[in-house]
Amino acid sequence: MNEIFEIVFNLSLLSFIVGSMVVLGLNLTIAQIITPFKQVKIVIMAIITNFVIIPLFAFGLVSVLAVPEGVKIGIILLSLSGGAPFIPMIVAVAKGHVASSVGLMILLLLISIFFIPIAVPIVLAGTEVSSWELIKSLVSMMLLPLVLALFIRARYPVFAATIQAYIAKLTNISVLLMVVAVLFLYTETIISNANTLPIISLFFIGAMLIGYVSGGRNRHARIILAIGTGLRNPPIAILVAHQSFQAEPMAALVPLEAAIIGLSILLPLAIISKKNRRDEPA
C-alpha cells in the first residue's frame, strides 16, 4: 500500500508543480510581467530581501534553535525559494497592485530556479546535491511549462482561456491527492515533529515582517513585499527536498506546512487591509 501512495505522491507533486506553472502562464501577458520593472527601487529591495536577508534570517534561526535536521533543511530551502504562485491572489484580496505583484512574482521565480542549484550545495555543505540535476529539474518542470503557457496565452488567447479552467481544476485535484498521500505516508512523522510548528510559524512571521519593513512608506510596496517575502515558494522547496533529501521527509513537509500556516495568516490580514483601505477618507 505504501508503494501505491508513494506513486500517487510523486505523480500528484509533478502535476501540482507543472499545473501551477501552466495555469500561471495562461493567465499572464507580457505587459503584466514587465510592469514591476518600472519600479526599480521595489525590484531591487525585493531581490535583496528575498535572496540575501531571508536566507540569513533562516540560517540564524535554525542555528540558534534546536531543530531536527529535516526541519532545518526545509526552512533553508524555503528561504532560498521566492515567487510563490499564489502571491497575486492574496494581493488582490488586500486591494494591492496585482499587476506589479504578478511581474515581481515571475522575477523572483526565475531567479529562484537558477539561484537554488548554486546556493543549496553552499548553504547545506556536506549534503550530496547535484547542481546540474537541480537545474534540469527546475527548468523542465517549472520554466518550460511556464514559457509554453505564456506562448499559448500570447498566440491563442481564446484557447488559453478555455483550457485554463480545466487545468486549474486538475491542479487542485492533484493538491488534494498529494495531501491525502502525505497524510497516509507521513502522519506519524508529522505528529512526532508537531513541536516544530511554532518554529515554522516564527520563520513565516519573521519573513513577512522583514518584507513589510523593506517596503518602506509605500502601502502597495509593503503589501506586495510582505506577502511575497512571507510566502516564499513552497512548490520549488518541496520539489528540491523530494529529489535531493528523500532521507529527511520533513524537508518536504515543512514547505507544505509553511504554506498552510502562511495562507491561514495572510488571508485574514489581507481582508483586514482591504477593509481599512475602504474606510480611508477620500
Instruction: Count each helix (H run) and each strand (E run) in the chain, helices first.
Output: 14, 0
Residue in 102, 78, 93, 90 with CA at minimum distance from that of residue 202: 78
Residue in 262, 282, 271 with CA at minimum distance from that of residue 91: 271
pTM of the model: 0.84
Residue 282 is assigned to a structural domain of this protein: no
CB 231 within 8 A of CB 174: no
Q: What is the CATH classification number for the domain harbouring 27?
A: 1.20.1530.20
Cα separation, 224 vs 260, whole angstroms: 19
Q: How many domains does the chain have?
A: 1
Q: What is the pLDDT of residues 80-137, one digit of tens each?
A: 998 877 777 777 777 766 666 777 888 888 898 889 988 988 888 767 677 778 888 8
Find cell 530581501 and name the residue: 49
Residue 104 is assigned to a structural domain of this protein: yes
Q: What is the pLDDT of residues 222-256, one digit of tens each?
A: 888 888 888 888 888 988 898 888 889 899 999 98
Find cell 489581507 and name the residue: 270
Which residue range forms the structural domain that includes residue 114?
2-276
- Say if residue 183 is exposed, middle or buried (CB neighbours under 10 Å; 0-12, 13-18, 19+): exposed
